[in-house]
Amino acid sequence: MRKDRKTYFRQAIETIKESFRQVERKHWRGAVKDLREFYLTPEEQEKLKKKGFVIRWLLLAWWTLQSMIKRLSPVRGVFLVVGLVLLLGLIDVGGTGDKGDFTVPGGLIILFILMLELKDKIIAKDELKEGRAIQSMLMPPESPAFPGWSIWLYSSPANDVGGDLIDYLQLDKDRAMIALGDVAGKGLPAALMMARAQSTLHALAPEFLDIPTMVGRVNDVFCRDGIKSRFASLLYAVINAGNNKVSFVNAGHLPPAVVKKQSVKEARKGGIAIGLKPDTTYKQQELTLNAGELLVVYSDGLTEAQNEAGEFFGSERTLALFAQLYGMDAPTAGKAILAEYKKFVEDTPPSDDLSLMILGRKGK
């Protein structure tokens, strides 16, 4: 009996150790992948794939070091080079062949550079954290209450702040507008553009009852005041408490999916994204949702999500998932999508912001 216990505990300890080793290997691979994608150009990454193991790691180290130095300020770059030279003992003192031992000074210089970079990162991280808090406060409720409709809104940034727009505004007692947009790029620049888009929507939506005119006006504002090469897709929808119709304009966004009892159909493609061309004319689309049916609007953070093996979630998997949502209310459907998304990506860091907007008509 005692021997069986020892065997059991020994096996349990080995199982725990192996689990830690697997996690360690997984995080190590993830860290190397992140460094490679951050410091190396796509061309360099392709070249690495064609090299042998030793050459690949030597090139990875050399190209990463070059990229690090370029990204540092000139003064810090010079100090880093000096520190590495001292650390590796590459200085010949007085030309006598005696390179001396400058390991400690070299290490201290490199440590000093790391401390400066860490300080900058912490300050930036704190500022981004505050930005994320403000962005969260500007987000509408997850499930806004509007007569006759079930609504669920969700947005999760790939970085500390995101460039996806989710918005809701009740225009009057009978009408509400809902919008989902995707600003080109991600991170802080996209987040600032997103904030600008949201403020523009809130300012103009009550003034323009005609949906195509409203989106056209937003586009003109973006073209006039926006930054060159910066644009955003936008799906702007209006629902009415008294009927089961969804009227919307799609400006360059992925076609929304209509979930019916025995089918999932994508709506027609829309016009061009906002911010690309002034005086653009947009066309309104209209859908009818009966009880149990859903309208699902999503960003490409869903279809382009990748797992550890590099596989994409993809459009086919997305539409097959949507087909299982018939009969659910909007929050239940949204949480089902998130569960499948998280099951697919597991611990893989997101490559893009993820946003979802789900509408369903209440009733029998």
Query: What does the pLDDT look like over 313-358, one tens digit per residue?
Result: 999 999 999 999 999 999 999 999 999 999 999 888 887 889 999 9
Residues 334 and 354 reside in one and the same domain: yes
What percent of the chain has pLDDT above 90? 37
More confident residue, 40 or 179: 179
Assign 220 to helix, strand or coil.
helix
Examine the pLDDT at 23 and tell me if it is beyond 50. no
Tell me, what's the pLDDT at 346? 86
**Final residue belonging to a domain, choices 98, 132, 166:** 132
Helices marked H in the chain — which ranges? 2-39, 42-49, 53-71, 74-87, 103-138, 188-204, 211-225, 300-303, 314-322, 330-345
Q: How far is CA 176 from CA 123, 140, 242, 289, 360, in A?
A: 40, 12, 11, 16, 14
Residues 53 and 154 reside in one and the same domain: no
CATH label of the domain that carries residue 323:
3.60.40.10
Residues 154 and 122 reside in one and the same domain: no
Residues 165 and 308 reside in one and the same domain: yes
Measured on CA atoms in the order 95, 101, 103, 109, is the torsion positive or negative?
Answer: negative
Span 67-91, pLDDT tens digits: 888 888 888 888 888 888 887 776 6
Residues 186 and 322 reside in one and the same domain: yes
Residues 58 and 90 reside in one and the same domain: yes
Residues 276 and 326 reside in one and the same domain: yes
Measured on CA atoms in the order 211, 217, 218, 220, is the torsion positive or negative?
Answer: positive
C-alpha span between 301 and 355 (Å, rounded): 7
Residues 322 and 247 reside in one and the same domain: yes
Examine the pLDDT at 148 and tell me if it is beyond 50. yes
